[in-house]
Amino acid sequence: MGAAAGRVRQDGTLAAMSATDRAPRTSAAEPAAASPAAPSVGSVAAPASFAVNIPGMADADLEPEPLDPEQIVSGEPVVTGKVLWESPDGKQIRGIWQITPGVVTDTEANELFVVVSGRATIEVEGGSVLEVGPGDACILREGDRTRWTVHETLRKAYHISL
C-alpha cells in the first residue's frame, strides 16, 4: 500500500491503514464524492477506493429524486438516492437508490444493482417478471420498459452505464 493509503473514521478524518486492515470505509453519513481520483469526505481527501455501509445510511442522507407524475401508476411512492461516484465523462454512475411502496413505470438504463433491503416485482414489457429482494443482483437492459410494484421500501446499490 502507498503512503496515501488510509481509512476514513466515523468523524470523517483519515486514519493510517496497515496492510492487515480491511478496505477503506467511509461513514454511512459521509459517502465519498464523485471524483474518481480522490473523493473527499468532510474536508479530508479519501482514498480512491472506498466502502459505504448502505443499510446503515440514514434516510435523511438520501436526496429526493422526484418521479414524473406520469410514471406513477398507483400509490404515493417516493424516490430518494445518492450518487457515490460518477466517471469524469458522466457515462458511469454508482450510487444508492430507494423507493417506497407503490407502482411506477420506467425506461431503464444499462444497470446492474443489488437489493440491500425491501422487495419488488419488476415486469419487463414483453419479457420477464423479476421478483427481487435482499441480496438479489439484477441486470436491466438499456431501453427496457418496466413496471415496478414495490411491496416493501426497496433500497439498492447500483452501477449504471450510459
Mean pLDDT of 18-37: 37
Q: Is 16 exposed, middle or buried (0-12, 13-18, 19+ CB in 10 A)?
A: exposed
Describe the chain by its helix, strand, coil percentages, rounded to 5. Answer: 5, 50, 50
Average predicted confidence (pLDDT) for the chain? 79
Q: Is the dihedral of CA 16, 22, 25, 27 positive or negative?
A: negative
Q: Give me the CATH code for the 59-161 domain, please.
A: 2.60.120.10
Owner of C-alpha cell 439498492: 156
Q: Residue 56 phi/psi, 5° resolution?
A: -85, -10
Mean pLDDT of 57-86: 96
Burial 121-145 (b: 16+ CB within 10 A, else e): ebbeeeeeebebeeeeeeebeeebe
pLDDT value at position 154?
Answer: 98
* Higher local confidence (pLDDT), 26 or 112: 112
How does residue 101 score in pLDDT terms, banded at 50, 70 and 90?
Answer: very high
Sequence spans of domains, the chain? 1-53, 59-161
Whether the CB-CB separation of 55 and 116 falls below 8 Å is answered with yes
pLDDT value at position 8?
Answer: 34
pLDDT value at position 74?
Answer: 98
How does residue 50 score in pLDDT terms, banded at 50, 70 and 90?
Answer: confident
pLDDT value at position 133?
Answer: 98
In this model, does residue 132 exceed pLDDT 60? yes
How does residue 21 score in pLDDT terms, banded at 50, 70 and 90?
Answer: very low
Residue 149 sits at the vertex; the CA angle it makes with 143 and 151, to the nearest 5 degrees, is: 145
pLDDT value at position 159?
Answer: 97
pLDDT value at position 98?
Answer: 98
What is the C-alpha to C-alpha distance for residues 85 and 153, in angstroms, rounded to an integer? 23
Whether the CB-CB separation of 97 and 88 falls below 8 Å is answered with no
Mean pLDDT of 134-154: 98
